[in-house]
Amino acid sequence: METSITSIGQGEGFCKNGGMAYVLLAYLLGSLVGGLLFFPEVRAKDLPGGSGVFRRKGPWAALWVVLWDLGKGALALLLVPPEWRVWAAAAVVAGHNWPLFFRFRGGGGIAPSLGYFLAWLPGETLGAALLGLGVAGVYHLLYWRKRRKGIYPIPFGAIFGYLALLLLAPAEGRLAALLAALAVALRGLQILSGRW
């Protein structure tokens, strides 16, 4: 049997326990949090996602972390057969939010879910992401810049991005987007309550 990066995980022999191993693989991939792998010192003062690394290390470090987290989301999609995509979406985000390798304290989950859905539903996801970024920009200009209280602009915009994706995606993609958004929302509530 010939193996390529696009066919890894697509064969029958790769997973024999009903597919749950694919979901576990997505979770473990999500647990490789870029901010914690490359900038572990950020963890003591901030969240290890793109925003936290931006605040502590600057834009180039944040870009590297965001690209890593987007990539692992896309890779999770490529490694999972179509019938397990819905559950793998939630698993890769849960792995990022509560990573096994970093004492279950990770990032917010936005970048890996964006990578996952860009690889699966590129048109719908790009439209939803652009809407979310637009909302984040307006929120920053009208509220955040003056008050610096409450939810950060990117997670605020992501709320609208996930809602748009729920409307734009086909049925299977909607369920996956809902599960990923719930994992992001649960982590967001933890962060807002000061338990990050």
Residue pLDDT tens, the chain, 196 long: 343 344 444 555 444 556 788 999 999 999 998 888 999 888 888 888 888 898 899 999 999 999 999 999 999 999 999 989 999 999 999 999 999 888 888 888 889 999 999 999 999 999 999 999 999 889 888 887 777 777 778 888 888 899 999 999 998 899 999 999 989 888 877 877 776 6
- Does residue 6 lie within any of the structural domains? no
pTM (2 decimals)? 0.85
Is 7 a member of any domain?
A: no
CA 130 to chain centre: 16
Domain encompassing residue 150: 16-192
The total of structural domains in the chain comes to 1
Residue 97 within any structural domain of the chain = yes
Residue 116 within any structural domain of the chain: yes
The answer to whether residue 10 sits within a structural domain is: no
């939630």: which residue's tokens?
A: 90
CA-wise closest residue to 196 among 26, 43, 41: 43
